[in-house]
Amino acid sequence: MTRPEHGPARAKERKLIHEVFKKITAVALAAAVTLPLSACGGGSGGPPSGSVTSTSSADISIDGTEFAFAPADVSMKVGQTVNVTFDNKGVVDHEWAVLKEGTQIKDEADFAESMVLFEVEAIPAGTSATQTITFEKAGRYQIICALPGHFAAGMNGILTVS
Ligand SMILES: [Cu+2]
């Protein structure tokens, strides 16, 4: 859960973020228990529009390499419980961080940890991690890898919630 470069503020923030995700995960687990998961395999699949409810769920997978996300752009539905799997297929650490709505950085120097809304935090090469998220607000959210130099090198994308 920690990286050597973490300052106390960053660690504290991570803790808060994790508290939030624990709650989200608990909700997701409850949904999984009460609803037999319908076939909603990876990709951008999901229920047909018009039938979106807070109990719908989906899985998406993103690969990270030097230096790109594949896919770079992903979409989710408002209220949908989404299991995000980030697979580090590169040779160095990578992460998949979604910035708050309305935050759009053009340069790494503009980045602050407080801008992060959701992330699969840095994982080592050759590993993957899954986190569950539900977005309650439609919008366009910037995705970045905040490790030094990675954003500028091409690790960015857009998450569209509709
Ligand atoms: Cu990276």
pLDDT (0 to 100) of residue 56:
74
Q: Which fold is adopted by the domain 8-161?
A: Immunoglobulin-like (2.60.40)
Separation of 127 CA from ligand 1 center, angstroms?
Answer: 13
CA dihedral 73, 150, 145, 138 (to 10 degrees): -40
Separation of 3 CA from ligand 1 center, angstroms?
Answer: 14
Sequential DSSP letters for 9-55: HHHHHHHHHHHHHHHHHHHHHHHHHHSPPPS--STT--SPTT---TT
Residue 73 reports pLDDT greater than 80? yes
Cβ atoms of 98 and 142 closer than 8 Å: yes
pLDDT digits (tens, 9 = 90+) for 96-144: 999 999 999 999 999 999 999 999 999 999 999 999 999 999 999 999 9
Mean pLDDT computed over every residue of the chain: 79
Separation of 156 CA from ligand 1 center, angstroms?
Answer: 9
Separation of 36 CA from ligand 1 center, angstroms?
Answer: 35
pLDDT (0 to 100) of residue 90:
98
Domain positions in the chain are: 8-161
Separation of 53 CA from ligand 1 center, angstroms?
Answer: 33
Residue 151 reports pLDDT greater than 50? yes
Separation of 51 CA from ligand 1 center, angstroms?
Answer: 36
pLDDT digits (tens, 9 = 90+) for 13-33: 444 444 444 444 444 444 444
Separation of 142 CA from ligand 1 center, angstroms?
Answer: 15
Separation of 68 CA from ligand 1 center, angstroms?
Answer: 8
Q: What is the DSSP letter of 107?
A: S
pLDDT digits (tens, 9 = 90+) for 38-62: 444 444 444 454 444 445 789 999 9
Separation of 151 CA from ligand 1 center, angstroms?
Answer: 7
